[in-house]
Amino acid sequence: MTEAIEPRDDTEPADQQGAPTARREPRYIVGIGASAGGLEALRALFAGFRSVRRLSFVVAQHLAPQHRSRLVELIAHETALRVREIEDGMRPEAGVVYVTPPNADLELQDGRLRLRQPRLKIGPKPSIDLFFTSLADALADRAVGVILSGTGSDGAHGIRAIKAADGLTLCQTPEDAKYDGMPRAAVQTGAVDRSLPVEQLASNLLKIDAEDGRRISDLRHDGSMTDEADPYARILSLLDERVGVDLSDYKQSTVRRRMERRVIANGFSSLADYADFFEHTQAEARLLFAEILISVTAFFRDPDAFAALASQIERRIAQARTGSQFRVWVAGCATGEEVYSIAILVQEAVEKAGKHLRVQIFATDLDDQALLIARKGTYTRGSLGQMSPQLVEKYFQQFEDRLQLGPQIRDSVVFARHDLVSDPPFLGLDLVACRNVLIYFNTRLQERVLRIFHYSLQPDGLLFLGRSETAHHPAGGFEQVDRQAKLFVRLREPGGLQAPQIRVRREAQREAELATRDRAESQSADSVFLAMVESVAPDSVLVTEDRLVRQVFGNASDFLRLPAGEPTTAVGRLVPAEVSMELSTLLHRASRSGRAVRGQRRDVTLPRRRRMQLQLQVIPIHIGQRREYLIGFERFSLPKRRLDTAPEAWSGAEAEPDERIALLESELKAVRESLQLTVEEHETANEELQALNEELQSTNEELQSSNEELETTNEELQSTNEELTTLNQEVNVKSAELSVVNQRLAAIQSAISYPLLIVDRELRLQSFNPAARQLFRVAEDDVNLSLRAIPAYLDLRTVAELLEECLIQERDRSLDYTGQGRQFDVRVQLFRDPKGAVAGAVISFVETTDLMAALNDARTKERQVAAITENTPALITMKDTQGVYTYANSRFRAVTGRSAAELLGRTDEELFGEQQGSAMREADFDVLKTRRASQSQEVLVLDGEPRWWLSARFPLLDGHNRAYSVCTVAQDVTERVRHERELTVFRRTLSDATDGIVIFEHGGEDYRAIYRSGRLLGDPPQSDLPRGDPLLLGDVLRQLLREADEVDAARVEHELRAGGVTAVTYRIGSDEPRWVELRGSELTLEEGGTRYLVLVLHDVTPQVRNEKALQDQKEALGRFSRLASLGEIAAGISHEINTPLNAITIKTELMRRMVDAGRAEPERLRRLTDDIDRMVANIDQVIAGLKSISRLAGRDQRELVPLRKLVEDTLRIVGFSTRRHGVDVQVDVGRDDVDVWCNPVQICQILVNLINNALDATHDRTDAWVRIVVSELEQAIVIEVRDNGSGVPAEIAEKIMTPFFTTKDADKGTGLGLSLSRTIARRHGGELEYLRDAEHTTFRLTLPRDPDAAALADERQS
């Protein structure tokens, strides 16, 4: 701690040191006066300074005279400024803090600080007044006076002096100060320029430091120094408005610090900016509030404090009666950890005491959010802190990852929002816990809250405060029971504390009501008082403490008189002289005892010579703070005779009355004199007492001051103590760590299974482990002996030599060492001391005997494995995770035709090309990923030949179970694969080609089925027969033929067995019959070998059906063609006949009208009838043609027909049409005697069809012609029909012969024409074709000459 302070400079006064330039004359000297609570304020003040250029600070802190102060160190801790203790004659420098030493007064004279013997024996030292006054005298307006916390009024006078000298006067606000006596006294002088919290004092002083060349008096009125609208106050009032919490009495420094966090959190640089933001952001109030109330807590935080609390609680509960209540209030419960801790303590105590107590725990807080969490009672394991596992087990329930308190604890706690400052407290409590709440409050508020707690607690109730609460203890009314734990007990007596005033917020109305009631009560109290006076002392006067009459009751005035002289209300002078003395005595007694006192009955003579006996009574009355006395007068009438109890002196005296009188008078005189004496003595005593009292007063003040000093010292001590505690803790921790490290070292040494020796530079054994003890048979006694001198079981000479070498060369070495048939790897490792010099060596003996053996073993095995892998016919490779070959056996090299150098380091892609390589790589990846072995069949094309490999891949795992390589073992299965494929193809073909196949093997007596497949043999197709259930030929046949009634299964079987190849077609099913063909054939693979019988089923239903359908179709076509040809001809005929008929109809109609109209002109009629005749002739022609044709055709029969006649008849039928179209028809038949063997109607039909087509094709031509040309070939006759029409477009030439093809309008033809014509031609053994390449549109009909050929063709066609 001392390092932090400037080195003290005892030999040289400050003004002589260094060069003149190094000294900085301060512009201002700031005198700082402080007393009790000053340390805190000073630290806070100086904490605000970094560097100061123009100010010099002089601290006048009241200190205990005998105490060596550590104030310098304490302040130095807080500030970057230099801090020095004042020595007499120092010249203050700028930027330095000077601290007055204890037991000295301080003055500034001629620019130097002078230490003086304290002038006052009594009173605080140094005197702030004295220093400030000297400051004012010396510096005038360059003086700055600052008053900080403290009791008393020192400094007030000095402040006035500085102010008078035009200096600047500052003072900590009384509310901010821990003790407000001094600041308040200073403020009351009216000479303080600014009264500010400590932090702002610091900033203001900094401003003064920065204000270059300006006078303080300017600064004083400078707006910049004052915070007219302090944003702090504004924020607090807004917070009160929004959250309903008044924080104005909370410790400003704390609240400000919290506020600043929000300022920074919101990204503002000043509180004022934040205040604006705060005003416009509703949600911020809640956030700030939470920030201010932030509380870190845990279960059983401060275990010691809780332990102390537990014992107190236990004691109380042990004393409590069964059935009584135990009431607890936890104020400021936050998130509930503390409440529940206390609840657990109470529960534990109750269980321990074995009593039934009603436990009631109130937990309150301002923060609703925190209360919400507290009510749930759910916590993370981390927040359980140092709670014992037993308690956790007992009171918590695991709830997912959190722990929830059990209901017995949660139910005993009542949570409520409660403002400690303004809401009424709970009463009759046994325990109040209020931890780390008071630290937020300023002194005044703390006191009030403590009063509230006092009021709430039962006598002997416990108050449990937080560790950091610097008690500033609950003044009176509490007694500390545990200083560490901050536990207090409420005293039975009220002490100095009064019932707290509970401020009821926002209930002004109720307050007003209460006030009214109070007034009423006071009035009624007056009347009660009067009644009481009436009854106790009807005639009485009320006098003040000063014996002045305040009020007269009843007839008391009867007994009073107004004495001569100045009017007075002094009661002693108003009462009759006879009782005046007694009254004075009575008043004295009453005031002393506080009880009513009664005097003697005395004879008195009242004015107007009334005589009576009077008895006085004095009753002390307390009215508020005042003390008053009621003096009652009681009268008794004078008895007729003297009382018997008259003094002996009287009764015994026989003297004459005059004598007696004289005697009495002289006696009286003596008594009076003696009384006078007594009175004088009393007054002297009084004066002495007064003097004594004054002495006491001053002593008291001194004590007060010493107490304050003590307080300061105590604080310092506390701070020192805390540092020491911290240090001690550190040392403890280090020590613990060291011990742990030692233990670990020992553990490590013994855990190391190989021998270990540790030697120093001189080869002296320092340490060894159990293994070394065993091997070398060294013992504890050998420690510190040289390695050479130890009688080791093994010869260590070589080791020692090695060791020496190592030490000389300063490097680590190792050595193979054999001894006792064991092999060791000896390692020497040097170790160094903290300075880096070699301090010794660690020698380890790692036994390698087994290792070497294992190594040899491993080598042998490796060779074995290599031999196996190199000589196996399988391909073996290893690839790393990148797919790079790391190993390939000789077979692999041979197959791929590459050397090891060509293979290793390459990947599959490089070796086998992109496609094959990546497939293999994928398989490798799978294995690496899954870490499972896999088997697959792969194709590898080598030299253009595909080869199949059955590859087993498996991962090679390292020590961490990670796959680092893939090993592949591949077998060439190409031949097998080929066979399998062939077999598969064969099987598929077989099952596709046949509807069923069964192969029997001739074994023993019977044929047994060995293969069977196909849909006729049941679904799903069966390729293999179950073992042990051989199907015999007979069974199969019977099953197959069971529905075929007409086939004899037995006969078929017999034929098959006889070796005959047989085939039967049979029908199965009746609803939808199917035909099945069954064929059987026998084969043997080699001569005399096994005979196989192959049974093939073929579903021939479609063929059978097709045949039938074809037959039906042929018949239908025949019918249709006959009908169609008749229809064609009929249509043609009807047109040929209808048209002339229509003309005839019209003409006959005309003729009728002419006749009817009588306008029958003979010529015209003649012409009309000629026309009609002509038309009838036309019709005749047509009919004749038809007749002729039908005559030729003897009902669908063929005959030999003369061709010319056939053509002519045809032309007669179409003649009308050709004429109508104006088409020129020419026929070239050639020879007349050409006959054709045909059905003439059908051939006529073909020709009509062809001619009609020609007419249609030429209708838009005016020179249209049609030629029919007949030519003879050797075997055939050719009839060509040509026209000069538009022809047949090439794209439809192909289609014109197909049925229903037509280019004509739907009404013109059926579309069957050409197709039908071709059919007819073919049935005649001829052909009809379209000559595509002819010059004109030409259709050629060819008919065979040979009737047999025609007949044969017809037969074939049908």
Q: Rule CB under 8 A: which residues touch other proteins? A: 1134-1135, 1138-1143, 1145-1147, 1149-1150, 1153-1154, 1157, 1159, 1171, 1175, 1220-1221, 1259-1260, 1305-1307
Closer residue to other proteins, CB minimum distance, 1051 or 1153: 1153
Which residues have a Cβ under 8 Å from the Cβ of 833 and sit 6 or more positions away?
839
Q: Left, alpha or beta for 1200 (phi > 0: left; psi -120 to 50: alpha)?
A: beta
The rounded distance, in Å, linking the Cα atoms of 152 and 180 is 9
Of 94, 105, 95, give the one whose Cα is nearest residue 60: 105
Instruction: List the one residue out of 608, 609, 540, 538 whose CA is nearest residue 575.
Output: 540
**What angle, rounded to 10 degrees, do the helices at 38-47 and 71-78 form?**
30
Least distance (Å) from other proteins to the CB of residue 1160? 11
Interacting residues of 61 by C-beta distance below 8 A, sequence separation 6+:
32, 33, 34, 35, 38, 39, 42, 69, 71, 99, 100, 712
Distance in Å, CB of 1163 to other proteins, minimum: 13
What region, left, alpha or beta, does residue 954 occupy, with left being phi > 0 and alpha being psi -120 to 50 degrees?
Answer: beta
Catalytic residue flag (residue 258): yes
Q: How far is the CB of 1146 from other proteins (least distance, A)?
A: 3
Place of tokens 């604890």: 409
Q: For every residue of 882-939, which 3-state class applies, written as one string?
A: CCEEEEECHHHHHHHCCCHHHHCCCEHHHHHHHHHHHHHHHHHHHHHHHCCCEEEEEE
**Torsion sign across C-alpha atoms 864, 866, 871, 874:** positive
CB of 1175: closest distance to other proteins in angstroms?
7
Q: What is the DSSP letter of 270?
A: S
Which residue lies nearer to other proteins by CB, 965 or 1178? Answer: 1178
Cβ–Cβ under 8 Å, residues 163 and 169: yes
Candidates 968, 972, 962; CA nearest to 887 is 968
514 vs 1150 by CB, closer to other proteins: 1150
Q: What are phi and psi of 293, to 5 degrees?
A: -85, 10
Closest listed residue to residue 462, CA positions, set 486, 488, 480: 488
Q: Residue 81 in contact with residue 96, Cβ under 8 Å?
A: yes
Nearest-angstrom CA–CA distance, 517 and 533 = 24
Name the minimum Å distance from CB 1262 to other proteins: 11
Name the token pair of 688: 């002495």
CA distances to 895, 904, 914, 923, 952 from 909, in Å: 17, 13, 5, 13, 19
Q: Which is nearer to other proteins, 1044 or 1175 (CB)?
A: 1175
Note if 602 is an active site residue.
Answer: no
Bridge partners of 399?
A: 402
At its nearest, how many Å lie between other proteins and the CB of residue 1259?
Answer: 5
Query: Min. distance of Cβ 1266 from other proteins in angstroms?
Result: 15
Q: What are the beta bridge partners of residue 584?
A: none
Cis? peptide before 126, omega within 30° of 0: yes
CB nearer to other proteins: give 1174 or 1356.
1174
Pick the closer one to other proteins by CB: 1150 or 1293. 1150
Owner of token pair 């099945």 = 1076
Q: Which is nearer to other proteins, 502 or 1124 (CB)?
A: 1124
- DSSP assignments along 642-657, one per residue: --TT--HHHHH--S-H
Q: Are 364 and 420 contacting, i.e. CB atoms less than 8 angstroms apart?
A: yes
Pairing of strands 358-365, 325-331: parallel
**Annotated catalytic residue, options 129, 193, 209, 365:** 365
Tell me whether residue 473 or residue 1135 sits nearer to other proteins (CB atom).
1135
Q: Which residue of the set 184, 220, 258, 764 is catalytic?
A: 258
566 vs 1307, which CB is nearer to other proteins?
1307
Cα–Cα distance measured from residue 1126 to residue 1120, given in angstroms and rounded to the nearest whole number: 10
Q: Which is nearer to other proteins, 1032 or 1154 (CB)?
A: 1154
For the CB of residue 1139, give the shortest distance to other proteins in the complex, in Å.
5
Distances (CA, A) of 332 to 293, 341, 484, 538, 815: 9, 14, 21, 57, 72
**Min CB(1109)–other proteins separation in Å:** 33
For the record, the structure tokens of 442 come out as 């300023």
Q: How far is the CB of 1158 from other proteins (least distance, A)?
A: 12
Q: What one-character-per-residue DSSP string does 316-368 give?
A: HHHHSPTT-EEEEEEES-TTSHHHHHHHHHHHHHHHHHT---EEEEEEEES-H
Spatial contact of 1206 and 1243, defined as CB atoms under 8 Å apart: yes
* Residue among 1151 and 1269 whose Cβ is closer to other proteins: 1151
Largest CA distance in the chain: 231
Instruction: Give the torsion sign (CA, 477, 480, 485, 487).
Output: negative
| Letter string b/e over residues 261-293, b meaning 16 or more CB atoms within 10 A of that residue's CB | ebbeeeebeebbebbeebeeeeebbeebbbbbb
Comparing CB distances to other proteins, the nearer of 1221 and 1282 is: 1221
Cβ proximity of 99 and 72 under 8 Å: yes
- Residue 1152 beta carbon to other proteins: minimum distance, rounded to whole angstroms: 10
Give 1135 or 1345: the residue with its C-beta nearer to other proteins. 1135
Count other Cβ atoms within 10 Å, centred on residue 1068. 19
> Which positions are annotated as active-site residues?
258, 365
